[in-house]
Structure 1
Amino acid sequence: MTDLTQATAAELGKLYAKGKTSPTEVMKAVLKRAEAINPRLNALCVIDAEPALAAAKASEKRWMKEEPLSPLDGVPVSIKELVRVKGWPASMGSKLTDKTPAEADAPAVARLREAGAIVFAQSTSSEYGHKGVTDSPLHGITRNPWKMDRTPGGSSGGAGAAVAAGLGPIAIGTDGGGSIRLPSSFTGLVGLKATFGRIPAWPPSLTGELSNTGPMCRTVLDTALMMNAIAKPDLRDGWSLPADDVDYVKAIKGKLKKCRIAFILRMGDHPLDIEVAAMVTKAAKRFEAMGCTVEEAVPPTNYRETGRTFVVHWLSALQRLLQLYPADRHDQFDASLLAGAQAGLKYTLQDVVDAQVTRREATIAWNAFFEKYDLLLTPTLAVQPFEAGQNAPIGADGKPNQQWSPYTFQFNLSRHPAVSVPCGLSRDGLPVGLQIASGHYKDALVLRAAARYAEADPLEFPTLPETMK
């Protein structure tokens, strides 16, 4: 392999083991590529080169002694700016935050360091991760390496853009309504929102029990390697699940025969891009060819009702920002964040209680659904990557289409595991994602299904960006 920046984490581990390259050589190659590409891509807002090179040298010594800490030892990883990294500012993509360096690592970061991974960069997010694209008053616009005039999605768009562009093969993102899966769909990655609590988080997210920390990678195998490192309990997370003792690398092996699969193309009366519909339908047929039973199904919840419920949860959380920061600085917020926070102030106590009731009812409905079906297939998003700098794509009526992401938030409400896996490229050469979901605690099954599909219909990843024009 001539370009080390295009290697997966699993490939790097094998190269290290055989002595064909070193963590230092890889880290230098990634840093060099970041220097060339990141100024236009704007995916990384902190690049901590000297400590990264020191960590690479330490990893190199361990590999030479045949004593690596894990298969991820010496693998560069970027961390979304909403996730604490010791020594880096927890900027949250905001001009208003205190930029004092964090005093401790978040659980996922700590576990990655223990596995020997090199935490070398912080990736961009929308301000407080409040929207499904990645631009902020603090950092500006992050771009999609597949087409630089398009958004990589969000709010973990910096993580998605970085991995897709070869700026580290793995990344940590967060997902409160789809913020790992959205950018994974738009950048051709595998992005997992695990069962809530499977990957512990600290400090608690502003959006509370909606938010998850998780892996973003080019392959399911790399995702499994990350899960082996980060899916461990942490006492700082009050919702952290007990250890499940699953080896995710082993768990993704095996066939899916006799698997009962539901296919839902639309969650409701929202618009759906015709190419996305065709590609995801084709993907569902792949599962039939693998020996699964696939049948079209109806969502067990009302799309508009669950959508309203999610919005109440989301905006009532965002309004807290108006109390955290003085009123004379509110004009420094992203305009859409400020508008959302102000809208959140209008909800009554009854609105919030009703939303909690509807959330519980929706969770029970999805639980019953997953008693009948082992897996669910949907599009990850209803659209293809749209223009960077916009909060939503323009619909057929010439107005912003606010219903472009109707699939992902369902499982933030219900806490079920869901993964986005690429299912091909559109005629414009842009990635489209397939979402695979399942019952609580069936994270390994979701990843196994993603692995079998990726084998049957692999995405050939070009070196991105293909042009810097």
Structure 2
Amino acid sequence: MTNDLTQQTAAGLSELYRNGKASPVEALEAVLTRTTRLNPTINCFSHVDEDGALKAARASELRWKKGAPLSELDGVPVSVKELVRVKGWAARMGSKLTDTAPVEEDAPAVARLREAGAVVFAHNTSPEYGHKGVTDSLLNGITRNPWRLDRTPGGSSGGAGAAVAAGLGPIAIGTDGGGSVRCPSSFSGLVGLKPTFGRVPAWPPSMTGDLANTGPMTRTAQDCALTMNVIVQPDQRDAYALPDDGMDYVRALTGDLKALKIGFVLRFGDHPLDPEVAASVARAAKEFARLGCEVEEVQAPFPYAEAGRAFTVHWCSALQRLLQLFPQARHGEFDPNLLTWAEEGKRFTVQDVVDAQVTRRELAIAWNLFFAKYDLLLSPTVAVAPFAAGQNDPPGEDGKPNTRWAPYTAQFNMSRHPAVSVPCGLNSEGLPIGLQIASGHYRDALVLRATASYAEINPIVFPSLSA
């Protein structure tokens, strides 16, 4: 176990607190010191509440000294994507158009974390309203990948991914409307879970409606499970929250994977695929076979082009609401990419939206039938390696922007199935590659158990950033 508190997992910190070998105040101070040094370069935090966090850490320290912690996460530093509300902080949404007034209520995940004693200390950067798969904004600038500072950490929970990868707290809370937890987890070498829709309560409702999910981003499956145990607790403010199923996600990590049937899908369609990503994910599929699973390479059950069209209609028609919420005189202050997509959303007809809803139902049924046959799906999380920071898309072979670099994740936002990204190796540049593991509705615990079993025999070493 490392002596550097910033490199500890949440489970590791909890053990140190229990044994009196470290305190929540010491852990937070180490993270804050590292934040002072690294955040000006990485730019993963838009707000740091040092005073409030130190107060919470001191209270946690007293509980540990009395032998009465509130949970395994008591005293663990946690950061939260800026699309998730934190009482007393502004809800900027990565936008110049929002105001700086502090909000009066915590979002459900934040409330549950505080009740568990976790130290919520910072807001993570996001693209404006989380609208794209990389993290930069006119408000906060460019967020960079700790693995290589000239590369993007992905998005839209890119600040969250960069923070955990950089050792700035072992847990971050992200949101995922089309892959926004899983894609940055792939680019940053993390375990990032998009739960079954409704499993983690959310409020206020996302602008992208029931595409959106709240989920944990961590370095290990165990930390992801610890976080899930806390944030899945019900909250009446979420109109679609699932009832508590009593699952202990940590206990559910144990057990082998023998006799599981797995479908391995290398491509979802005719999109480009980086050969190093393909090779790494194929090796991961063979690892699952060695773990005792029956692995079969199969085809995706739903046409890629139809799925992409339906997602675009859902996404852009949701974003166009921003043009109604803010006066036209201020529309020029939006990220140009966001404005383009919102204007595109205005052009869709009622028939377009109804057709997209029909397609979404058909897609969900297709995946339901897939998961009736297979316990798990394995696929790449993202089709490319981390590309240049400050760009919305990587270059394609034809020199034009490759807009199809993230084809794997959004289908499970539409179908509402749980899916996780887990690191499955590094490419020739030493950059992480993510494996996506998905399963049937409500089988979040199985997804995490598969993640834990695979990650245990395929560990990853994070960049030290000591310079």
Length-normalised TM-score, structure 1: 0.99
**1 CA distance for matches of 2:441 and 2:203?**
22
Indicate the residue corresponding to 1:425 in structure 2: 426
Matches within 5 A, 1:88-107: 88-107=89-108
Checking the alignment, whether the CA contact within 8 Å between 2:83 and 2:129 is kept in structure 1 is yes
- Tell whether the 8 Å contact from 1:267 to 1:406 is kept in structure 2 after alignment: yes
Partner amino acid, structure 1, of 2:239: G
Distance 1:298 1:426 in 2: 25
The one-letter amino acid paired with 2:19 is K
Matched letter for residue 222 of structure 2:
L
8 Å contact 2:146–2:463 — kept in the other structure?
Answer: no
In structure 2, the partner of 1:187 is 188
Q: Distance in 1 between matches of 2:100 and 2:133?
A: 24
Letter of the structure 2 residue corresponding to residue 155 of structure 1: S
Q: Distance in 1 between matches of 2:102 and 2:206?
A: 18
Greater CA deviation, 452-461 or 432-441? Answer: 452-461
Amino acid of the residue matched to residue 400 of structure 1? P
Determine whether 1:214 maps to 2:215: yes
What SS does structure 1 have at the residue aligned with 2:434?
Answer: strand
Q: How does 1:450-465 map to 2 (within 5 A)?
A: 450-463=451-464, 465=465
SS for the counterpart of 1:345 is helix
- Per-residue deviation, 1:181: 0.2
Structure 2 segments unaligned to the other structure (5+ residues): none
Task: Tell me how large the CA RMSD over aligned residues is.
Answer: 0.6
Per the TM alignment, residue 436 of structure 1 is displaced from its structure 2 partner at its CA by 0.0
SS of residue paired to 2:436: strand
Measure, in 1, the Cα distance between the counterparts of 2:202 and 2:452.
26
Task: Tell me, yes or no, if the aligned pair for 2:262 and 2:294 is still in contact at 8 Å.
Answer: yes
What code does the residue aligned with 1:8 have? T
How far apart in 2 are the matches of 1:51 and 1:314? 36
Tell me which residue corresponds to 2:139: 138
Q: What letter corresponds to residue 58 of structure 2 in structure 1?
A: K
Contact 1:146 1:466 in 2 (8 A): no
Q: Distance in 2 between matches of 1:371 and 1:325?
A: 45
Corresponding residue number in structure 2 for 1:445: 446
CA distance in 2, matches of 1:424, 1:77: 26
1:176–1:212: 8 Å Cα contact kept in structure 2?
Answer: yes
| Counterpart-to-counterpart distance in 2, 1:46 and 1:303 | 39
User: What is the distance in 2 between the residues matched to 1:167 and 1:136?
Assistant: 21
Distance in 1 of aligned mates of 2:225 and 2:3: 25
Secondary structure of residue in 2 paired with 1:78: strand
CA distance in 2, matches of 1:456, 1:376: 19
Query: AA paired with 2:117?
Result: G
Q: Distance in 1 between matches of 2:90 and 2:356?
A: 34
The C-alpha deviation readout for 1:352-405, integer Å capped at 9, x for no partner, is 000000000100110000000000000000000000000000011000000000
Alignment of 1:301-450 (within 5 A): 301-450=302-451
Deviations 1:261-307 (A, max 9, x none): 00000000000000000000000000000010000111110000000
> What is the deviation of 1:462?
3.4
Alignment of structure 1 residues 163-174 onto 2, 5 Å: 163-174=164-175
Q: What is the letter of the counterpart of residue 31 of structure 2? A: V
Distance 2:234 2:298 in 1: 35
Match of 1:272 in 2: 273
Shift of the alpha carbon at 1:461? 2.4
**Kept after mapping to 1: 8 A contact 2:94/2:137:** yes
Deviations 1:395-425, CA, capped at 9 Å, x for gaps: 1100000000000001000000000000011
CA distance in 1, matches of 2:220, 2:24: 20
Say if 2:28 and 2:57, in contact at 8 Å, map to a contact too: yes
Query: Sequence identity of aligned pairs in percent?
Result: 68
- SS of the residue corresponding to residue 33 of structure 2 reads helix
Unaligned runs of 5+ in 1: none
Aligned counterparts of 1:213 and 1:428: Cα–Cα separation in 2: 31
For the 8 Å contact 1:84–1:104, the answer to whether it is kept is: yes
CA distance in 2, matches of 1:103, 1:50: 18
Give the AA of the match of 1:50: D
Question: How far does residue 456 in structure 1 lie from its aligned partner after superposition?
Answer: 1.8
Tell me how far apart the structure 2 counterparts of residues 427 and 219 of structure 1 sit (CA, whole Å): 23
Distance of 2:219 and 2:92 partners within structure 1: 26
Q: Deviations over 1:212-233 (max 9, x none)?
A: 0010000000000000000111
Distance 1:466 1:389 in 2: 24
Q: How many residues align?
A: 466
Paired AA for residue 86 in structure 2: V
1:50 aligned residue? 51
Hey, what does 1:10 align to over in structure 2?
11
Question: Which residue is equivalent to 1:248?
Answer: 249
> How far 1:27 moved relative to its partner?
0.6
User: 2:267 and 2:52 mapped to 1: Cα distance?
Assistant: 47
TM superposition score normalised by structure 2: 0.99
Secondary structure of 2:347's aligned partner: coil
- Once the 2 structures are TM-superposed, how far is the Cα of residue 466 of structure 1 from its aligned partner? 5.5
